[in-house]
Every structure is written in structure tokens, then in C-alpha cells.
Amino acid sequence: MHPNIEKVLIDEKTLKTRIAEMAAEISKDYEGEELLVIGLLKGASYFMMELTQHLSVPTQIDFLKVSSYGSGTSTSGKVDIQFDTSRNLAGKNVLIVDDVVDSGLTLKAVRELFRTRNCKSIRLAAMLDKKERRLVKMVPDYYGFVIPDEFVVGFGLDYNEDYRTLPYVGILKRSVYEK
């Protein structure tokens, strides 16, 4: 375990098992359909790659870079789309993939943006769900784990670009980010 991690919240095996289960659920829901999976950079990249490896339906991938955090530890409340998809989404089944649903503002903004693009369907998948932090009504269609209101890193989640490559989700020691 990394010395700046207070506790491993979800170990690698548990993460990968649950993500495979999510992929089975998604594959069942989209049976006979094609799916465009759009990951929100950078945090969702690890989760998205693990998820798409287990999908059994024809799948294409793309990315969107969205931020509501900046370099802090809590949402700014403003969602900034920094890099948009260039794909025509009309008539597509779109699955938006994010690392964690926190305030709900980011996924709400992306879903509203995509609703203007005539998608056949729009669903949301998140590796982690922090329900107690929600500022807007936002329920992911698929989620891996409901977690407590702790600052977590690993498996794509970062603090100032560090800890993203940890193979587990861990609680970051407060002394690291409360300087």
C-alpha cells in the first residue's frame, strides 16, 4: 500500500469482479444493439478500459474531457467541457462513463449536452457513487460501488495528477491534501 493511503477501500480483485458484472448487465441491456461508450477524461480511463474489455456487444469508444474540480478536492460547481467528441451522436446508443458521481453536476451537464444531439439512448455508468455528496438529482444507470464521503484515489482517480495508477481505490490521508 502507498504510504499516503490511509486505507484501501476497494481492492483490485473486487474492483475488476464488479466491473465485469457491470459489463454483463450493460451487454444484456444492449443485446442486439451497437454501443458508443464515451469516457470522461482523465479519471474514467482505467474504469472504461476495464469495462469495455468485458462488453459482449459491438462497441466503439470515444472520450470527452470535462472538469468541475480544477486542482482542488471539491467541485467548483461550474462544469467546463474542455474537449468534446467530434462524432455524430444522432441515432447512437451512448453510454457515458465516469469514475465517480459526486455532486452529479458533471454527468447532468454532459447528459443535457448529449440530449441536444439526437442520441437514440443515453445511459450513465460510474465506477463509484457518493450519494451523500449529490447536489442535483442524478442516478447512474449502472454503478460499481456506493462509497462514503471520503477523498479517494487510485484506479484512475487522482489528486493533482498523482495516485491515478494505483491498482485499487484508497482513501487519501488528509495530511496530503489539507496542507
β-bridge mates for residue 62, sequence order: 38
Q: How many CB atoms lie within 10 A of CB 147?
A: 20
Annotated catalytic residue, options 102, 141, 158, 162: 102
78-117 b/e with 16+ CB inside 10 Å = b? Answer: ebeeeeebeeebeebbbbbbbbbbbbbbbbbbbbebbeee
Q: What angle do CA 10, 40, 176 make, to 5 degrees?
A: 50
Active site includes 162?
no
Does a cis peptide bond (omega within 30 degrees of 0) precede residue 173? no
Q: Which residues are catalytic?
A: 102
